[in-house]
Structure 1
Amino acid sequence: MRLHAKIAMAAGGLALLGTSLLVTAPAQAQGNPACYAKSGHLYCGNKAGVSLWRYPRYSDVTKDVVDRLKSNPSYFQCYVSGQKHGGGNSIWYKTYGDVNGRSGYLAAENIFTWKDPFPGVSHC
């Protein structure tokens, strides 16, 4: 008996097998524009309403949050290595905030890239 037939029987039938093998894009990437690099900069979808940090690390909110990023998608100037974050790496992207235009860093976990650092983006 072939492997896929065994799987179908174990899953309770062929109809169930068909639905159990569907693969979808991550929820964070659905409905957002594709990321691309141009002239060393990143243009990509991101979580909106997030804080930009003075340094590439999470620290004191009262003195180290410099602005907020409200736009989606957004422009990111370059990347640096900083504190490891919930995205499983230590890549942070530098950009400009939407409230007062100050530059700051956003952890890659908030940007819908498929790889960090994103290919073609310059190191700061």
Structure 2
Amino acid sequence: MRLHTRIATAAAGPALIATCLLGAAPAQAQANPPCYAKSGHLYCGNTAGVSLWRSPRYSGHDQDVVDTLKSNPSYFQCYVSGQRHGGGNSIWYRTYGDVTGRTGYVAAESVYTWKDPFPGVRHC
């Protein structure tokens, strides 16, 4: 975590102090509620409009995209290991798409978790 060297005054309010200490904008923090696991499933913020893939890997073929995840936050059934992605790991979360309702995989880089796989989420 990066701390700024400026001291926020009390008149600035808690939101500005949190911004300085955590480096995140207050609106962004409110837009993405914390992730949690319940009954082995994940409930978490994510990139809206992300593609769901037929298998846990990116491919150059459009037919491998089975649906789109438009919601944020979203429900994720479970996780699997697949292709390594830009998030620095190979964890993918399975969920239902918002257009056709088909099941597919989203790379963990598009799910706003602090750790992958997220603790308490079951393996598919």
TM category, shorter: 0.7 to 0.9
TM-score, length-normalised on structure 1? 0.79
What corresponds to 1:51 in structure 2? Answer: 51
Amino acid at match of 2:6: G
Q: Aligned partners of 1:23, 1:57: CA distance in 2, in Å?
A: 36
What corresponds to 1:8 in structure 2? Answer: none
- SS at structure 1 position matched to 2:95: strand
Moved over 6 A (4+): none
Is 1:95 the counterpart of 2:95? The answer is: yes
Amino acid at match of 1:23: L
- SS at structure 2 position matched to 1:80: strand
Is 1:79 the counterpart of 2:79? The answer is: yes
Deviation at 1:24, TM superposition (A): 1.9
Structure 1: segments with no counterpart, 5+ residues: 1-15
Q: Aligned partners of 2:97, 2:39: CA distance in 1, in Å?
A: 20
Q: Aligned partners of 1:25, 1:32: CA distance in 2, in Å?
A: 15
Q: CA RMSD in A?
A: 1.7
What corresponds to 1:111 in structure 2? Answer: 111
Percent sequence identity is: 73
Deviation at 1:62, TM superposition (A): 1.5
Structure 2: segments with no counterpart, 5+ residues: 8-19
Q: Aligned partners of 2:71, 2:83: CA distance in 1, in Å?
A: 24
Bigger Cα Rg: 1
Amino acid at match of 2:41: H
TM-score, length-normalised on structure 2? 0.79
What corresponds to 2:6 in structure 1? Answer: 18
